[in-house]
Amino acid sequence: MKLRLVTPPALPVTLAEAKAYLRVDHAFEDAGISAMIAAAVNLLDGRNGILGRCLEPATWELLLDRFPNREIRLPLGPVASVTSVAFTDPEGAEGAVDAGSFALDNVEGFGGWIVPHAGFAWPAAMETINAVRVRFVAGTGAPEGVKQAILVMVATRYDLRGEGRMLTPGIVADLAPFRRPVVA
């Protein structure tokens, strides 16, 4: 299973919001503040972020060598929608699974499942790498608590300029309710 980012998300905090929070009214630090916002978001967002979830909508592609026996697990969430399920058939032709043949189970919130309808079987796929390609949108908008934490992280970096870390114990505690649970 491989995961590839197709369309990156917008940042959940704008430069204008960060400047207002920092009480900065000039433009000569815009590039630096924008970089601080991006760094804070990179620590939290997506498959490598500490929250283990997508904040703003982004399009991802899940690559599989074959269809599973039943459900397809989408590893990132919250899953907003499934854009397409494409495959290479045994003869090498490209095919697509009709959207009416499956349902999205995204109740979990941190991931999702593509569940085939009763009586539907996944089509045969060529025995090759990346024969099945699932495009989906993950992220439904950053919760307000996460946006506030990003602003505090930016302010910490802005105020301490290289002397401190963005993730203080207080920020980590504030983010705890939004973190994907770890199942042992």
- Per residue, what are the HEC states of the chain? CEEEEEECCCCCCCHHHHHHHHCCCCCCCHHHHHHHHHHHHHHHECCCCCCCECCCCEEEEEEECCCCCCCEEECCCCEEEEEEEEEECCCCCEEECCHHHEEEECCCCCCEEEEECCCCCCCCCCCCCCCEEEEEEECCCCCHHHHHHHHHHHHHHHHHCCCCCCCCHHHHHHHHHHCCCCCC
Residue 172 lies in a domain: yes
Q: Are residues 39 and 97 in the same domain?
A: no
Q: Are residues 46 and 63 in the same domain?
A: no
Residue 2 lies in a domain: no
The predicted model gives 54-75 an average pLDDT of 94
Q: Are residues 96 and 134 in the same domain?
A: yes
Residue 23 lies in a domain: yes
Q: Are residues 73 and 43 in the same domain?
A: no
The predicted model gives 157-173 an average pLDDT of 77
Q: Are residues 74 and 20 in the same domain?
A: no
pLDDT at 164: 64
The number of domains in the chain is 2
Residue 92 lies in a domain: yes
Q: Are residues 101 and 117 in the same domain?
A: yes
Q: Are residues 128 and 69 in the same domain?
A: yes
**Parent domain of 72:** 58-138
The token duo for 10 is: 């917008």
Residue 40 lies in a domain: yes
Residue 109 lies in a domain: yes
Q: Are residues 104 and 146 in the same domain?
A: no
The predicted model gives 164-178 an average pLDDT of 76
Show the CA angle centred on residue 147, arms to residues 168 and 167, nearest 5°.
15
Q: Are residues 84 and 130 in the same domain?
A: yes
In the predicted structure, residue 11 carries a pLDDT above the cut 60? yes
Q: Are residues 81 and 129 in the same domain?
A: yes
Q: Are residues 64 and 44 in the same domain?
A: no
Residue 184 lies in a domain: no
pTM: 0.85
Could you read off the pLDDT of 15-40 as tens digits, one per residue? 999 999 999 999 999 999 999 999 99
Q: Are residues 91 and 69 in the same domain?
A: yes
